[in-house]
Structure 1
């Protein structure tokens, strides 16, 4: 259960914010280490990735991304009035994200995939674990720790998605309309990470909330990498 107070002594805010930012940076380093061991991403880096690899990636991402807006909406409903700003931010985020899976579907069809097959797919074991964790956490009272999930998921979009898209295009000769989901998320998620930075330095995050944020980021980082490792399971 995650709770926090919106009242934090003014002189405690800069130190707490710096601490949580530094700790999240360490989590990101851990995530990069996990990603470096993902077979498909290694093939992408060395230029041996195939169109079938890309199709498998989109197939698996779609099954998890379709759950994104629902868990964000659940989180919004779990914030009380004392966390109005976080609730409002979650509502805006859910509205922005709820069509994202449709971009994946269009990219998938554009590379020759079957829409019916895609929509009838199921989550791999990593995606099952990730979605289950997100829905569970979002249902807790005042789930401030989910800011850690945002740090990981939106951070991947802002820092890695466009690079992955460009590399898939370089190796496989793909058009923009075949990698639109990844291209779009560089800009959209950069804006979201800016919103996150503003929240982390706003005075709403006390030491207990910082611990929850970092812990959630650690779990989501591991589970996100797991879903990329388990594409066919």
Structure 2
């Protein structure tokens, strides 16, 4: 581990924290999340949220698998981590489907749905980036997506339950991701602090985190469009 990589890792943590703070500020202005915080959210809002999330979550494991295939042998640890991650997440969309049906949604309509404007942009960006040789910057995407699950999903689930009287089996997807994504963020932190990230890679990670944070918020802003 060189002095440059130690410095890059330390600085990267602070830079990602700043990206996260900006992301949190933007999320607070998303209409459905604002209604959730205010206690004005409806069961239709919750169904719409699940409907829209499902269309993008289906793509999660495929773009992670594509990223794994893009890492060469010099990045074996990242390739292995991506393979494990893809395996762990490839059934996540099924949890959303069960939650959606449990709150009165139609499975056929859900599966026939399409991505909203933000989801199209997010998935398109992820697949495009995953095709790059050694797409180390995707660690920034994982920082945002897994961080959202670890830090916010369970709180959203609890708030939906408080406001709408939902049972645990109707918010399983969000509750599950508190623990699952906390483990993933722990793995991510280990990579960031491993000394394997130089300044160029750190710049890529931060830029990818910035883009994904904006597109994820856009996905939540553009429900049904």
* Pairwise TM-score range, normalised by the shorter structure: over 0.9
- Mapped to 2, the partners of 1:132 and 1:16 lie a distance apart of 29
**1:139 to 2:128 alignment:** no
If the length of structure 2 is used for normalisation, what is the TM-score? Answer: 0.99
In structure 1, the partner of 2:191 is 199
- Mapped to 2, the partners of 1:154 and 1:90 lie a distance apart of 13
- Mapped to 1, the partners of 2:9 and 2:203 lie a distance apart of 12
Q: Give 3-state SS (helix, strand or coil) of 1:91's partner.
A: helix
The C-alpha deviation readout for 1:147-184, integer Å capped at 9, x for no partner, is 00000000000000000000000000000000000000
The C-alpha deviation readout for 1:169-221, integer Å capped at 9, x for no partner, is 00000000000000000000000000000000112100000000000000000
1:16 deviates by 1.2
Given candidates 108, 113, 116, the residue that maps to 2:108 is 116
The C-alpha deviation readout for 1:9-28, integer Å capped at 9, x for no partner, is 52223211110000000000
Matches within 5 A, 1:72-83: 72-83=64-75
**1:105 to 2:101 alignment:** no
The C-alpha deviation readout for 1:23-81, integer Å capped at 9, x for no partner, is 00000011011101100000000000000000000000000000000000000000000
Given candidates 148, 152, 160, the residue that maps to 2:140 is 148
**1:50 to 2:47 alignment:** no
**Unpaired runs of at least 5, structure 2:** none
For the 8 Å contact 1:157–1:182, the answer to whether it is kept is yes
The C-alpha deviation readout for 1:103-131, integer Å capped at 9, x for no partner, is 00000000010000000000000000000
RMSD: 0.6
Matches within 5 A, 1:1-233: 9-233=1-225
Query: Greater CA deviation, 59-68 or 27-36?
Result: 27-36
For the 8 Å contact 1:155–1:189, the answer to whether it is kept is yes
If the length of structure 1 is used for normalisation, what is the TM-score? Answer: 0.96
